[in-house]
Amino acid sequence: MRKVLERIYLAIILIFMYAPILTLIVLSFNSSKSRAKWGGFTLKWYINLLSDEAVASALFNTLSIAVLATIFSTIIGTFTCIAMIGLSSKLRSIIMGITNIPMINADIVTGISLMLLFRFLHISTGFTTILLAHITFNIPFVMLSVMPRVKNINFYVYEAALDLGASRPYAFFKTILPDIVPGIVSGALMAFTMSLDDFIITYFTKGSGFETLSTLIYNEVKRGIQPEIYALSALIFVVVLVLLMIVYRAPQAKTKEK
């Protein structure tokens, strides 16, 4: 009896989470513009979407910002984590304290503070400012996932490598880097998803005329929802689902090999 109740509870929460998304997917195939009635199956919203230049450019902006922000933040974050080993504990805690600020602070305050900086410096807002903002809020996520790995590094192996005649860089790449790579990968993935999903900080640092997917959807919604947006949601949902399956399968496959 208890098991049944538990399963029902899980089912209810899953329905609450997924029924709305499924509704959107169904509506994306509805030929009637009204959301209240079913006008038959159609793919025209998908076709409209694919020929929509605004969506295409927003998608391109979103992806290029996410990729670049991930690369930069992963490099900077990883280098800093490694450097932390050699720093005094006082300096280390100051750096970590500052790094925590964007994580703890509300996105709206982070967004506004960066907007003030860019306006004050007369940097015209657009691609560059969004990229700078995204790198800034991504670095903490990278450091947060790389730092535990760095703390657990076994330096005896590194020293043994040096004693056996390895050069410092060689010993580093052979003994230390492999230990922290999983942290770097998960940090980079986290940075990428954070960047894709961000709306608030992008909204304040984007300037007018430059749109990412999030800001485009926000503007569209304010004007009234078009069925093309449903098609877009359905596509994004399927892509996210497939990506996550791959990500979640990958580490399991690796442990099986071992």
For residue 59, the minimal CB distance to another protein (Å) is 12
Which of 1, 16, 165, 246 touches another protein (CB under 8 A)?
16
143-172: b or e for each residue (b if 16 or more CB lie within 10 Å)? bbbbbebbeebeeeebeebeeeebeeeebe
Q: How many residues bind another protein, per CB under 8 A?
A: 84
The first and second tokens of residue 136, run together, are: 């800034």
Q: Which of residues 84-103 bind another protein (CB under 8 A)?
A: 84-88, 91, 95, 98-99, 101-102
116, amino acid identity = L
> Assign residue 207 a region: left if phi > 0, alpha if psi is -120 to 50, beta otherwise?
left
Which of 82, 123, 157, 166 touches another protein (CB under 8 A)?
82
Contact status: 200 vs another protein (CB under 8 A)? yes
Which of 120, 122, 164, 257 touches another protein (CB under 8 A)?
120
- Binding mask 132-171 toward another protein (x if CB under 8 A, else -) reads xx-xx--x---------------x--xx--x---------
In 84-140, DSSP assigns E strands to none
Q: Based on CB atoms, which residue is closest to another protein, 16 or 41?
A: 16
Which of 76, 123, 157, 166 touches another protein (CB under 8 A)?
76
Rounded to an integer, what distance in angstroms lies between the CA atom of residue 117 and that of residue 106? Answer: 17
Rounded to an integer, what distance in angstroms lies between the CA atom of residue 82 and that of residue 78? Answer: 6
Residues β-bridged to residue 41:
30
SS (H, E, C) 133-187: HHHHHHHHHHHHHHHHHHHCCCHHHHHHHHHCCCCHHHHHHHHHHHHHHHHHHHH
- Binding mask 204-243 toward another protein (x if CB under 8 A, else -) reads x--------xx--xx--xx--x---xx-xx--xx--xx--
Q: Based on CB atoms, which residue is closest to another protein, 41 or 248?
A: 248
Question: Which range, of 39-47, 51-59, 63-71, 112-120, touches another protein by CB under 8 A?
Answer: 112-120
Q: Which of residues 17-46 bind another protein (CB under 8 A)?
A: 17-18, 20-21, 23-24, 27, 34-37
For residue 94, the minimal CB distance to another protein (Å) is 9
Residue 258: exposed, middle, or buried by beta-carbon count in 10 A (0-12, 13-18, 19+)?
exposed
Contact status: 114 vs another protein (CB under 8 A)? yes
Contact status: 54 vs another protein (CB under 8 A)? no
First to last CA, the chain: 40
Question: Which range, of 39-47, 48-56, 178-186, 247-255, touches another protein by CB under 8 A?
Answer: 247-255
